[in-house]
Amino acid sequence: MSTPPGQVPPGWDDPAGPQTPSTESPAQPPAPAKSQTASIMWAIATMVVAVVGGFLIYTAITHEDGGTAAPETPAATDNAAGTAPSETAATGDDDSSQPGTTDGAATDDGASGDAATEDSTAGEESATASETPSTGQREMTEEQKEFVLALQRRDADDPMAKGDVDAPVVLIEYADYRCPFCAVWGRDVQPELQDLVDDGTLRIEFRDRVLFGEESEATALAARAAGEQGLYWEYHDAVFAAAPNSGHPDMPREKLIGFAEEIGVPDLAKFEEDMDSKELRAALQADQDEAGSLGINSTPTFLVNATPVVGAQPAEVFTQVIEQELAAAQE
């Protein structure tokens, strides 16, 4: 263990501690040679014990602090560069907060209010798939469950939803179109749940949770504009299919129009007009307010009926939660 210059460890300033050799002549006659030899040997032995003891203490400390443990992987929080989410995606983009289970509101808010800073680099692609899925940690009261379940819209005309309006299980997804974890989930995991949508078990309702600035907002509005012409999910899929494996893609207006052309939006003039629609912007803000009221500052975040799940967890996690919620709904 090192000592800062000019300081000495506690106890070294007492008479028993190491002393600076004096340059003055001794006031007493020198000790006999035998005595001097014994003193020198005792001093050497003391120094050896101190060095060995210090080394053992240092080893114990570093071992206790994780010297032999598996290296920790930072949780995905805001935005980051690093490992591609396709290799490591497990939690979410921005913050690892999750909806709470005590009052219907999330308890973790680490993204400066309702929106994360666009260029933060806190660890977006660093969570590992081996992490335990983030779900509710405590039992909800019936009142709390009713609060969460009341967030389901079950609107047959909602272009941002798919599945039977009366499905026993509703999965609400809060996501940002420029979040690579959201792209991983939308591109790789959601299709694996399509059979449950097709057989009437599951309904998926998408909510915009814009965390990464104006281009994320513009993309959300473009998807809604495509939805005005019945192509919301086609636009959703096209954006996530083109998403890079890391970072937040640039989404200039011409690129957003390009996606509309790619999926065959019939009226591009109307599409552009709807991108600037005050009504669609107000609807997007309603989603923002809902997510903010829940304290959701990590994307993607999900509510599967009354069970929160945070991050791009594998399909098996969602099928297990869906089965649990289905069983509960049938009781």
For residue 165, give its domain range. Answer: 88-329
Pairwise CA distance, residues 63 & 116, whole Å: 36
In a domain, 37, yes or no: no
In a domain, 56, yes or no: no
Tokens of 309: 């799940």
In a domain, 309, yes or no: yes
Q: What is the pTM of this model?
A: 0.65
Going residue by residue through the chain, which has 331 residues, state the pLDDT in tens, using 9 for 90 and above: 443 443 333 343 433 333 333 334 344 444 444 445 445 454 454 454 444 344 333 333 333 333 333 333 333 334 333 334 444 345 577 643 333 333 333 333 333 333 343 333 333 333 333 333 455 445 788 998 999 999 999 999 999 999 999 999 999 999 999 999 999 999 999 999 999 999 999 999 999 999 999 999 999 999 999 999 999 999 999 999 999 989 999 999 999 999 999 999 999 999 999 999 999 999 999 999 999 999 999 999 999 999 999 999 999 999 999 999 999 999 8
In a domain, 289, yes or no: yes
In a domain, 9, yes or no: no
Q: Count of domains in the chain? A: 1
Distance set, CA 60 to CA 46, 49, 52, 64 (Å) = 21, 16, 12, 6
Task: Provide the pairing of β-strand 307-310 with 301-304.
Answer: antiparallel
User: Residue 198 is part of a domain; what is its CATH number?
Assistant: 3.40.30.10
Q: What are residue 134's DSSP bridge partners?
A: 310
Pairwise CA distance, residues 92 & 296, whole Å: 11
Where residue 213 falls (left for φ over 0; alpha for ψ -120 to 50; beta otherwise) is left
DSSP conformation letters of 74-104: PPP-S---SS-HHHH--S-BS------SSSS
Max distance between CA atoms of the chain, in angstroms, equals 109
In a domain, 70, yes or no: no
Tokens of 169: 């299980």
In a domain, 47, yes or no: no
In a domain, 211, yes or no: yes
Pairwise CA distance, residues 96 & 310, whole Å: 7
Q: 273 near 224, Cβ under 8 Å?
A: no
